[in-house]
Amino acid sequence: MSLDAAWALDWARRAADLIAENRAELTELDRAIGDADHGDNLDRGMKAVVSKLNAAQQAGGIPANPGGVLKLVATTLMATVGGAGGPLLGTAFLKASRSSEAASWGPEELARALEEATSGLEVRGHANSGDKTMADAWRPAAVAAKEAAEVGEDEVGVLTAAAQAAVKGAQETEPLQARRGRASFLGERSCGHRDPGAQSSALILQAAVDAARDRVPAAASILVVEQA
């Protein structure tokens, strides 16, 4: 099994659903250390992504590979999500979209896409693991995906490893002092709060797993991202 454009479409739609379901929680997380708008902004952006994909599908213009779909996701997020979230997530999806032109992605392509997404996000945000940003979810996810691919895990295994690592990474932002973004202005007062961008990133990566599992009848039960 490898994952095609239909998987990427399903990923985007499931991500939009998860962000909508967790919009209020993400906004509350952001209220503690940011502008209290992360959930609302990302929800608006993901709804725009779904609208764009639906319009393309109705017009017969859906890309033929995962990379093409993710490029549409990227450009829409960049155009519609305010604050730092839009440019950062948009960059992640754009870099992932350019990682492979294959019609379907196997374990190696998925691991490469996550590495490219993470590297792009880190460069754009000048952030690394430990800075209390989205990178704290994406970097461990990329590492876990690479390790899973190297030991022979299939597509679901690679994405599951990435999603689980992202959940753990988001949880581990709670005691950290922010070193990047608006939260860094709070200094030690940023400690004790989960980073909203890391939490939303874990949700987005969970959606990728859920979409992949629907294409494998014998797949294990769905991982549930822990609520903050």
Number of domains in the chain: 1
- Give the range of the structural domain holding residue 92, as residue numbers without chain letter: 5-213
- What's the pTM value of the predicted model, to 2 decimals? 0.91
Residue 225 counted as domain residue = no
3-state secondary structure (DSSP) of residue 135: helix
Residue 69 sits in a domain whose CATH number is 1.25.40.340
Residue 106 counted as domain residue = yes
Residue 143 counted as domain residue = yes
Which tens digits make up the pLDDT trace of 51-110?
Answer: 999 999 999 888 999 999 999 999 999 999 877 778 999 999 999 999 999 999 999 999
Residue corresponding to tokens 């860094």: 184
Residue 62 counted as domain residue = yes
Which of left, alpha, beta for 63 (phi over 0: left; psi -120 to 50: alpha)? beta
Residue 219 counted as domain residue = no
Angle at 114 between CA 25 and CA 144, to 5 degrees: 85
Residue 149 counted as domain residue = yes
Which tens digits make up the pLDDT trace of 160-206?
Answer: 999 999 999 999 997 777 766 666 555 676 587 789 999 999 999 99
Residue 220 counted as domain residue = no
3 backbone dihedrals φ, ψ, rounded to 5°: -105, 125
Residue 226 counted as domain residue = no
Residue 13, classified by CB atoms within 10 Å of its CB into exposed (0-12), middle (13-18) or buried (19+), is middle
> What is the rounded CA–CA span in Å between residue 205 and residue 198?
11
DSSP for residue 103 = S
